[in-house]
Amino acid sequence: MTGDQTVSRARSDPLESSDSVRSAKPLRDAQFARLEQPLDLERGGRIEEVTVAYETYGNLNEARDNAILICHAISGDSHVAKHNDRDDPGWWDIVVGPGKVIDTTRLFVICPNLLGGCRGTTGPGSNNPATGRPYGRDFPTITVGDMVTVQRQLLEQLGIPQLLAVVGGSLGGHQALVWAARYPEAVRGVIALATSPRLTTQAIAFDVVGRNAILRDPHFQGGQYYGKAQGPDVGLALARMIGHITYLSPEAMTEKFEADRLQPRDVAVEFEKQFSVGSYLGHQGAKFVERFDANSYLTLSIAMDLFDLGSNGRELAAAFARTRSRWLVLSFSSDWLFPPEQSRHIVNALLANSAPVSYCNVQSHCGHDAFLLPDELSSYGGMMRAFLDNLAATSRGAGSMEDGPHGTTSIFRQHRLDYDRIVELIPSGASVLDLGCGSGGLLARLMHRARSADGLVRGSSLAEATETGGRGRPPSDIGGQGCPPSVSRLVGVELDESNIFTCISRGLDVIHADLNKGLGAFATGEFEFVVLSQTLQTVQDVELVVMEMLRVGQKGIVSIPNFAYEPLRRMLYEHGRAPKSGGVLRYEWYNTPNARFFSIADFEDFCRQKNIIVHRRIALDTEAAVEISENPNLKADLAIFVLSLAKGLYEI
């Protein structure tokens, strides 16, 4: 959706939000399970009787290996999607259903209401068997880990030993992280959206204010307001108003309210309505009171605030040390409640464990709520669908050899001759990090070679071949599937969002990152080869990027265009025109992605100055598709270098 469309939609329905499809209507399709044993809680105490409300969609196949667990956020419930055309929409109806991102014609979806919730699962509003009245504030403190324990026991009752994937955003993402960390053998894939390893102090502060609004409401009555004429409706509404402020970005606020900021909507609430944003917040707060319990809000928000997988990289890496899942981590650029940096912390911890992970920071103006809204569905939903397709080994495009489109950091939009030679330079089974990987053409070739060498069927899912282990881990130890013995880690780094989508569609692991900010997520000597193909001329800090690639890689392979190519010299000297040629240097002066114009000789001088060892140089004329041995600085338009650092610069 374009920015203009977003503004138009916001102005036509200024009260629209991620809550618009939710209601207090009975859950007609909810099923209920009672845990067989009392639940001992992580922070002490016990819940003697636990009932879980859940809904299912689709059919569990005969192999029982197509199950998806969807974990909802703080205000969600089991009704993730409508069951038929007569049903009410669910809170993620845009994602779940027949033919949708999570396709219920192929997948079996389970969505349980959280422990501590108020839509059927045991929570503060449930009867305490010890007293015969609702728990209220006597409901014990629970954790995200307790929620996951309940979900695990539910799946055991349903006879599902392993999930194809666990999916969740926000608090649902917290649950997904715990699933992968605590039950690694039970989860083949994880999709974590707009989440974090712990809340920021700022996020906790908003929760504290919201809880105080509830606790100080004169109708709270110590939490035993059930059956009374009025409960803490004002406090709960205020808490939800605060929440909605954090769910929207400044850009979304401007789009929704700036044009008519002094023209509030006439909504039937008793809160201030002088400004347009005020009527919106009042409406959201009043609507929330109709369907949610204040004690559940207290219970679940405290569980969120207590959630903590680690405050630094070392602790977080230790939390994920046992993971065997494939991962897709998605953040949203304007989310200031769960900022993208927190998702990168998760990704870095997974990379430290050599876990197979893809990450994208989706460009969005919608803030934290972006994962619940349709605005960027084509992007985040497309990546989710592709990830699940590969995980389920049903993607027809996985492992495609087609080079596909390339972003602005690659000068190729045609057959990559340098890829042919680079593949020859990399031994089969070597671990490879491809910087500026574009649409994954090189990595797909390396994977195709490995699959072909091991006799895999052409066209099968690349997921079958990319189940790679962590450091020292056997290949079959990840994701519940084996892989060819010659396949090692193949990872891409890319900045362009559309290229990241293509890589994920191919079943490749790709990390959304800017090379100019370094490769701090990767350890020294972590990969046997780091490749920088036709990208160096576009980067801002050449020295940083080259030195970082040679730190992370035991060897580096760099392919560069040669701007001293003879036809370019003649064009500038004889005709006084900006040089271009028919091969890799075919761009016009006004649309070239190249920021630096250097020659083979210049790059060789750079290597000498920086004590970089050149193990091999291959010069090519890509127009004629031949290798050049004589006077390459004049006759070649492209060169490939195999490099390493002189001993002592970095210990590898």
Say whether 106 sits in a helix, a strand or coil: coil
Rg of the chain taking only CA atoms, in angstroms: 27
Name the residue with tokens 């630094």: 312
Which entry of 217, 335, 375, 637 is annotated as an active-site residue?
Answer: 335
Contact status, residue 623 vs residue 581, Cβ threshold 8 Å: yes
Mind giving me the DSSP string for 415-443? --HHHHHHHHHSPTT--EEEET-TTSHHH
Q: Which two tokens stand for residue 156?
A: 């055991």
Beta bridge partners of 52: 33
In this structure, the dihedral spanned by the alpha carbons of residues 152, 157, 159 and 163, taken in order and rounded to 10 degrees, is -20
Q: Name the helix (H) or strand (E) containing 491.
A: strand 490-494
What is the rounded distance in angstroms from the CA atom of residue 50 to the CA atom of residue 191?
Answer: 27
Say if CB 585 and CB 565 are below 8 A apart.
yes
The one catalytic residue among 368, 406, 448, 512: 368
CB burial of residue 625 (10 Å; 0-12, 13-18, 19+): exposed
Residue 32 burial (CB count, 10 A): 11
CA–CA gap between residue 158 and residue 55 (Å, rounded): 12
170 noted as active-site residue: yes
- Residue whose C-alpha is closest to residue 652's, from 545, 553, 556, 529: 553
As given in the structure block, the two tokens for residue 99 are 């033919």
In whole angstroms, what is the distance from residue 553 CA to residue 547 CA? 10
Tell me, letter by letter, the H, E, C secondary structure of 237-259: HHHHHHHHHHHCCHHHHHHHHCC
Q: How far apart (Å, rounded) are the C-alpha atoms in residues 620 and 625?
A: 7
Sequence-distant (6+) residues with CB within 8 A of 496 are 407, 408, 409, 438
Output helix, strand, coil percentages for the chain, rounded to the nearest 5.
35, 15, 50
Q: Which entry of 75, 170, 301, 331 is annotated as an active-site residue?
A: 170
Cβ atoms within 10 Å, residue 473 = 14
428 token code pair: 């089969």
Name the residue type at position 613.
I
What's the longest Cα–Cα distance across the chain? 96
Residue appearing with tokens 């699933």: 179
Instruction: Assign residue 532 a region (left: φ > 0; alpha: ψ between -120 and 50; beta: otherwise).
Output: beta
Element (H, E) at 182: helix 171-182
CA 70 to each of CA 13, 167, 347, 381: distance values in angstroms, whole numbers, following the listed order = 29, 5, 21, 14
Residue 368 a catalytic site member: yes
Residue 399 in 3-state DSSP? coil
Q: How far apart are CA 360 and CA 495, in angstroms?
A: 9
Q: How many helices (H) and strands (E) does the chain have?
A: 18, 20
Q: Given its phi and psi angles, is residue 161 left (phi above 0), alpha (psi -120 to 50 degrees) or beta?
A: alpha
Catalytic residues, which ones? 170, 335, 368
